[in-house]
C-alpha cells in the first residue's frame, strides 16, 4: 500500500514558487493564440456575409428565403460535432500539452476553410456540391471544438494574474478582427465585381485567404513554448510518480461532472449568453438587414464593419478594466443591458434612419464587448490545470451547440412568424441566462488560476503576490477555524442530547 500521499509534507509557499513570466514568450503566446482565433472567425464572418450568395450557388432550386436558411443551416450543423472535437482535443491537451494541440487544430481549420473555395457549384456537380460544403464545415467544426478553449487556456496560463483580463481580451480582439477582415473582403469584392461574377467565382476568394493565414498561425504556434502551468503540472507528476508522466492518466468525465458541476454550469451559462449575442450580431445581422429588412447586401455589411471596428477599440478596454474592478460586473452589465435594450435596439435597426440603425447595432455591440472582454480570462480560471482543457472544451462546446443555432433559428423565426422583432426576443432569453449565471460566477480577477501558483510580471510583483497569497491563506484558515468551531458546538450539543436520552434508559451508558 502506497502511503506517500498521506506522508508528504506540504512546504510553505516561497517567492520561488511564484512564476515570473518572460515578457517575450508572453507576447509570442498571445499573438499565436489571437491569430489562430482570428482565422477561425474570419471564416465564420465570411460565411455569414456571403450566405445569400452561397444559397444561390449551392441551393439554386430553392426559394430565396429557403436558400438563406439552408446556407445558414450548413453553417449551424457543424456545431453538432464541436463537442466531439472538444472532447478529443481536450483530452489531448491535458495529456500532451496545449501547444501541440493548438498547432493541430489550426492545420485542420486552414485546410478545411481553403477547400470551401475549391468546391464546384450545384450546377457543375449537383448534390455533391452541398455535401462537400457540409463535409468541409464538419471538419471545421471538429477542429474549432478545441480551438477557442485551447487558445483561451494558452493565454490564461501564460498571463500574469494582474493582467489576465487585459491579455485574454486580445483573443476575442482577434475574433472581431477576423470578422472585420472577412467583411472588408466581401465589401471590396461586391464593390469591384458585378453580381454574376461574384456568384461565379468572387465568393471563393475570401476562403483562399485561409491558406497563408493558416501557415502564419502554424509557424507562430509551433514557435511558442508550452505554458508554465502545464509544465509545472508535469514536473509535479514526475516528482510523485515518473511512470505517471508517461501514462498521463485522464480523469473520467463522470468524475469531472460530479466534482465540478457548478463550474461546468457557470461555464455553459457564460458561453450561451456571450455567443448567442455574438452570432446574432456578427453572423446573422448582415443577412437580417438584407433578407428581412430589404437593405442591399453591401449596405448591411458596411454598417456591421463600422460597428466591429468600434468594437476593436472597446474590447481591450473592457479587459483592462476587468483587472481593476473584476469580471462579474461586466457580465452583469452585459446581461442587464440586453434585458433592457434589446427591443429598443431592434426598433432602431428596423427604422429607415441610418443613424438609428447604427445606434441600435452599437448598443448591442458594446453589451457584447462587456462579455467577450472577460470570457477568455474567466472560463479557464474555473478548473484546475490537470482537467482544465477537457472540462472547459466539453462544457464550452455543449453550450455552442445551442448558440451556434442562433442564425438558423433567428432566420426561421422571422420567416415563420413574419415578425422582424423575433431576434430581439431571442436575445432576451439569452439575457436571462446571463443574469442567472452572473450570480453564481466566482470572482477570479487578480487571483491565480484554480489550483495553480501565482503568476507575476516581474520579481517585484511576485513579492506582492506572495504577500497577497499569505493574506488569502490566513483569511481561509480563519474561515475554516470558524467552521470547525461551529461543528464542535454542534457536536457538543449532540453529545449532551445523547447523554440526556441515555440517562433515561437503564441499559445505555
Q: How far apart are CA 291 and CA 400, in angstroms?
A: 25
**How does DSSP classify residue 161?**
G
Q: How far apart are CA 62 and CA 85, in angstroms?
A: 32
Q: How far apart are CA 274 and CA 278, in angstroms?
A: 6
- Give the confidence band of 10 by pLDDT, cuts at 50, 70, 90: low
pLDDT at 296: 67
Burial class (CB in 10 A: 0-12, 13-18, 19+), 193: middle
Q: How far apart are CA 222 and CA 312, in angstroms?
A: 27
Q: What is the dihedral of CA 183, 77, 86, 22, to 10 degrees?
A: 0
On whether the CB atoms of residues 342 and 273 are closer than 8 A, the answer is no
Burial class (CB in 10 A: 0-12, 13-18, 19+), 135: middle
**How does DSSP classify residue 294?**
-
276-to-356, 404, 433 alpha-carbon distances in Å? 23, 7, 11
Q: How far apart are CA 229 and CA 432, in angstroms?
A: 35
Tens of pLDDT along 137-182? 888 888 888 888 888 998 998 889 889 999 999 999 988 888 788 8
Of the candidates 335, 107, 93, 96, the one whose C-alpha atom is nearest the C-alpha of residue 217 is: 107
**Yes or no: is domain 19-457 CATH 1.20.1250.20?**
yes
Place of cell 441551393: 59
Tens of pLDDT along 109-122? 888 888 888 888 87
The domain segmentation of the chain, as residue ranges, is: 19-457, 460-509
Q: How far apart are CA 359 and CA 349, in angstroms?
A: 8
**How does DSSP classify residue 296?**
-
Q: Which of 73-77, 226-230, 289-293 has the lowest mean pLDDT?
A: 73-77
Tens of pLDDT along 274-291? 999 988 887 788 778 777
- Give the confidence band of 3 by pLDDT, cuts at 50, 70, 90: very low
pLDDT at 6: 42
- Give the confidence band of 333 by pLDDT, cuts at 50, 70, 90: very high
Q: Quick one: what percent of the chain has pLDDT higher than 70? A: 89
User: How confident is the prediction for the chain on average, in pLDDT?
Assistant: 83
Q: Quick one: what percent of the chain has pLDDT higher than 90? A: 25
Reduced to 3 states (helix: H, G, I; strand: E, B; else coil), residue 371 is helix
pLDDT at 53: 77
Tens of pLDDT along 89-98? 888 888 888 8
Across 346-369, average pLDDT: 89
pTM above 0.75, yes or no: yes
Place of cell 452541398: 130
pLDDT at 146: 84
Burial class (CB in 10 A: 0-12, 13-18, 19+), 418: exposed
Amino acid at each position: 500500500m502506497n502511503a506517500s500521499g498521506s506522508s508528504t509534507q506540504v512546504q510553505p509557499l516561497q517567492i520561488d514558487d511564484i512564476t515570473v513570466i518572460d515578457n517575450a514568450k508572453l507576447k509570442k503566446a498571445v499573438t499565436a493564440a489571437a491569430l489562430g482565433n482570428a482565422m477561425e472567425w474570419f471564416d465564420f464572418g465570411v460565411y455569414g456575409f456571403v450566405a445569400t450568395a452561397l444559397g444561390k450557388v449551392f441551393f439554386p432550386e430553392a426559394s430565396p428565403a429557403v436558400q438563406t436558411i439552408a446556407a445558414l443551416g450548413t453553417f449551424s450543423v457543424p456545431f453538432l460535432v464541436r463537442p466531439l472535437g472538444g472532447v478529443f482535443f481536450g483530452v489531448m491537451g491535458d495529456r500532451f500539452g496545449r501547444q501541440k494541440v493548438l498547432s493541430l487544430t489550426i492545420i485542420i481549420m486552414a485546410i478545411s476553410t481553403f477547400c470551401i473555395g475549391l468546391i464546384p457549384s450545384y450546377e457543375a456537380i449537383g448534390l455533391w456540391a452541398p455535401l462537400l460544403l457540409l463535409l468541409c464545415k464538419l471538419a471545421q467544426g471538429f477542429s474549432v471544438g478545441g480551438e477557442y478553449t485551447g487558445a483561451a487556456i494558452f493565454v490564461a496560463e501564460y498571463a500574469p494574474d494582474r493582467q489576465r483580463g487585459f491579455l485574454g481580451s486580445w483573443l476575442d480582439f482577434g475574433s472581431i478582427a477576423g470578422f472585420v477582415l472577412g467583411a472588408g473582403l466581401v465589401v471590396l469584392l461586391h464593390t469591384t465585381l458585378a453580381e454574376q461574377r461574384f456568384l461565379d467565382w468572387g465568393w471563393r476568394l475570401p476562403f483562399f485567404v485561409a491558406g497563408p493565414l493558416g501557415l502564419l498561425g502554424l509557424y507562430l504556434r509551433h514557435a511558442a513554448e508550452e505554458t508554465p502551468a502545464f509544465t509545472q503540472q508535469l514536473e509535479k507528476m514526475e516528482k510523485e510518480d515518473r511512470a505517471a508522466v508517461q501514462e498521463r492518466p485522464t480523469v473520467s468525465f463522470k468524475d469531472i461532472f460530479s466534482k465540478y458541476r457548478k463550474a461546468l454550469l457557470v461555464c455553459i451559462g457564460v458561453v450561451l449568453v456571450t455567443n448567442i449575442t455574438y452570432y446574432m450580431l456578427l453572423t446573422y445581422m448582415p443577412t437580417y438587414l438584407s433578407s428581412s429588412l430589404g437593405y442591399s447586401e453591401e449596405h448591411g455589411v458596411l454598417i456591421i464593419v463600422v460597428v466591429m471596428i468600434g468594437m476593436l477599440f472597446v474590447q481591450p478596454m473592457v479587459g483592462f478594466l476587468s483587472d481593476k474592478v473584476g469580471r462579474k460586473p461586466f457580465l452583469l452589465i452585459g446581461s442587464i443591458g440586453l434585458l433592457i435594450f434589446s427591443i429598443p435596439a431592434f426598433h432602431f435597426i428596423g427604422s429607415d434612419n441610418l443613424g438609428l440603425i447604427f445606434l441600435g447595432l452599437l448598443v448591442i455591440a458594446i453589451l457584447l464587448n462587456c462579455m467577450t472582454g472577460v470570457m477568455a480570462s474567466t472560463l479557464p480560471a474555473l478548473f484546475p490545470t490537470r482537467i482544465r482543457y477537457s472540462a472547459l472544451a466539453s462544457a464550452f462546446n455543449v453550450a455552442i451547440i445551442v448558440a451556434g443555432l442562433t442564425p438558423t433559428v433567428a432566420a426561421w423565426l422571422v420567416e415563420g412568424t413574419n415578425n422582424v422583432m423575433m431576434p430581439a426576443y431571442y436575445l432576451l432569453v439569452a439575457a436571462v441566462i446571463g443574469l442567472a449565471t452572473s450570480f453564481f460566477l466566482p470572482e477570479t480577477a487578480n487571483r491565480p488560476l484554480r489550483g495553480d501558483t501565482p503568476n507575476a510580471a516581474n520579481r517585484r510583483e511576485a513579492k506582492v503576490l506572495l504577500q497577497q497569497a499569505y493574506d488569502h491563506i490566513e483569511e481561509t484558515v480563519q474561515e475554516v477555524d470558524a467552521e470547525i468551531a461551529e461543528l464542535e458546538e454542534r457536536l457538543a450539543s449532540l453529545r449532551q442530547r445523547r447523554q440526556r436520552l441515555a440517562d433515561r434508559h437503564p441499559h445505555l451508558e
